[in-house]
Amino acid sequence: MPAGAHIVPADHLPRCSRYAAMIRDVGHNNVTRGNGILTRTELESYIEHQYEERNRLIANQGSTRGVDVRLRDSEQMLNDMLEAGVDGLSYLPDEIQEQQLRPELANRVVEMLMKDDENRSLRITQPILDRARGRYMNIEARSMVELNSRDRALSEIKEIAQALGLL
């Protein structure tokens, strides 16, 4: 985001939630992409992708019901952003934003919220940290790259836990 960009919490707009913004920032199961802020450009790209998906479904005579709902909601979100003059929507939990963690840790928080927050509470809790650690501890590292990746993830999870005063 450029300096001076107008970013507000997603739930400050009338028809938006932090969870909805996160889902659109992550896109289609790309949990490593989410960084805590959904920009207008990212939302426009998400909408464009949804139209492409809708066209594929129509060509294959599939149901567009799910895509139509996502399109409607996303276009309402974009209109709300435009009306409010907002450049981006923040969706990370307040307690995470207050910590002002390193940017790469925001990506790890989003990953944990997408994969380990079974209740969609959008809060990093001890059970979420435990599930995230378990996912990485159970990965069999077959190369140094995989081992380093696993170790980095566990280290980042530990740093997030410490910042939040959790184990």
Q: What is the pLDDT of residues 121-165, one digit of tens each?
A: 999 999 999 999 999 998 888 899 989 999 999 999 999 999 999
Q: Give the pair of three-digit tokens for residue 127.
A: 């059970």
Residue 29: predicted pLDDT: 56
Q: What is the pLDDT of residues 13-67, one digit of tens each?
A: 998 999 999 999 998 656 557 899 999 999 999 999 999 999 999 999 999 999 9
Q: Is 37 exposed, middle or buried (0-12, 13-18, 19+ CB in 10 A)?
A: buried
Distance of alpha carbon 2 from alpha carbon 20, whole angstroms: 23
pTM exceeds 0.95: no
Residues 112/120, Cβ–Cβ less than 8 Å: no
Residue 30: predicted pLDDT: 66
